[in-house]
Amino acid sequence: MKSFFVEKKYILFPVMMDATCRTVTVCSESKKIFEFDIPVENGNSPYQFQYYAPLNVEKWKGREITIEVEDAQDFLEAIGFSDDRADTVQHKPQIHFSPESGWMNDPNGLIYTNGLYHLFFQHNPFQNQWGNLCWGHAVSKDLLHWEQLDTAMFPDENGSMFSGCGIVNERSLLELPDSALLFFYTMAGGKTKWSEGKKFTQNLAYSLDGGNTLKKMNPPVIEHIADENRDPKVYWHEKSQAYYMVLFLEGNQFGIFRSENLQSWECTQTIELDKAWECPDLREIPVEGGGSKWVFWSADGFYFLGEFDGFQFVTDGIRREAYQTAVPYAAQTFFGTEDVITVSWLRTQNKGRYYKGVMGLPRKLTLVQMGEDLRLRMMPVESFLNARKPVCMDNTCELKYKPEDFKAVQIQLLGAGTISYVADINGNEISFDAETGSLTVNGNQAFMGNNIHEMSILIDAEICEVTTENGLYYGVFELKPSCDIQEWTIRSKEMLSMKVMEIS
């Protein structure tokens, strides 16, 4: 046990990533305020660890706090205190958000307001493995360069913080101002020792300071209705003048709920979608050339076209797939942007890093008429396109390029339906066969379209995002972890237009 009076903004917990987790309890005035599972090794003196995980305790300044963990004196003595967040600088992606340290999964509460993009995310600050699920928080002015802020919401006696969404309180509901930010989330009861016996419920939190601090509201807006019902996504439906929520129920079933006051919700439809599972989103997506179509989205990138009247979604039942690889997952769209912008979690391993999990490049969604069908296009956001600087280009069968520093780089290949090549990019083997449409990255294959005319390869540290035909096909690969800058070589049997662009 360690007791102290709070004088600094942060408690810094030492994290030894491969140690066995133990329950660490933080109390103030004999009341539990936090409980986490943190990897701790006893008999480790002086205590060896990889990084500090900061916990903001500013609201308890001047009060006594007690930290309790069984048989871990070395760990307790290594705990630090600071007015600044701990520095865990590593070689990281430049334009793909990754946490300073710890585990990350689903994007949550995506909001654009007052010139800032807010990205909340599933986060375990205390280990780069799933657990202790909090809502991390980062902000950006351009969707490319992110600043991580203090963790926004923590597990409590009711459960862990599972996924959810965010909107602006434009209609001044809940006795809150129209500038308030509202966050719907799943409280995952029973997923922690502290919440044993509790159920999954859908809950609401709000922020009155632009997203810097979030305050949970009680009671739940939707009580337990299925085993692990979760991942609420809320928007306003203009034609029927009400809010709607899509919610994962169980199996391949989802619920659509409706409310005029954001407190009382009525289930207007239960829908089962082929192989779809968790993290739903339901948006009206513009069709290039005019018009729009409603799209129901699930975690694996499966999407279903249909019509939505504010009560029920009617689909043609055809399951379409947005991703050519299994790395992207649990995408969510932003509230408050003119374009429909999506961000996915990339399920990467990040070997040798203090963090695990990266966010995909934000992409603009449109639908394209392909014969009698519509296909989703996923193009990088405008700020990405504007940030590119051409550094090397030629019409050639071989292109060599050596970056001067660690930067995100896009390679664009253009050809008359005959783009085939082999490449060595920073020690990674990449090739594409135009006839079969097979892209191979370090032995991992994905179909990226037959006889294509355009391919773009985005390299950012260990992340490789590939699109063809200007975003009609999209796949993500994880590259070998390497900090060595090497010469990149691309060879083709046919003459190709090759362009290398650095992103700053």
Active site residue ranges? 106
Rounded to 5 degrees, φ, ψ at 46 are -65, 150
Strands 102-113 and 355-356: parallel
Tell me the residue type at 475. Answer: G
CA distance 66 to 5: 9
Tell me the residue type at 233. Answer: K
Tell me the residue type at 338. Answer: E
Strand order in the sheet with 230-237: 230-237, 242-250, 253-259, 266-272
Q: Which two tokens stand for residue 108?
A: 């949550």
Burial degree of 147 (CB within 10 A; 0-12, 13-18, 19+): exposed
- Rounded to the nearest 5 percent, the helix, strand and coil shares of the chain are 5, 55, 40
CA distance 368 to 469: 11
* Sign of the CA dihedral with 297 first, then 298, 302, and 305 last: negative
Q: Which two tokens stand for residue 4?
A: 């102290």
DSSP states along 115-141: TEEEEEEEEETT-SSS-S-EEEEEEES
149 with 141: CB under 8 angstroms?
Answer: no
467 with 316: CB under 8 angstroms?
Answer: no
Q: Which two tokens stand for residue 97?
A: 């958000």
CA distance 319 to 297: 10
CA distance 60 to 271: 46
Q: Which two tokens stand for residue 278?
A: 């968790």
Q: Find the radius of gyration of the CA atoms of the chain.
A: 24
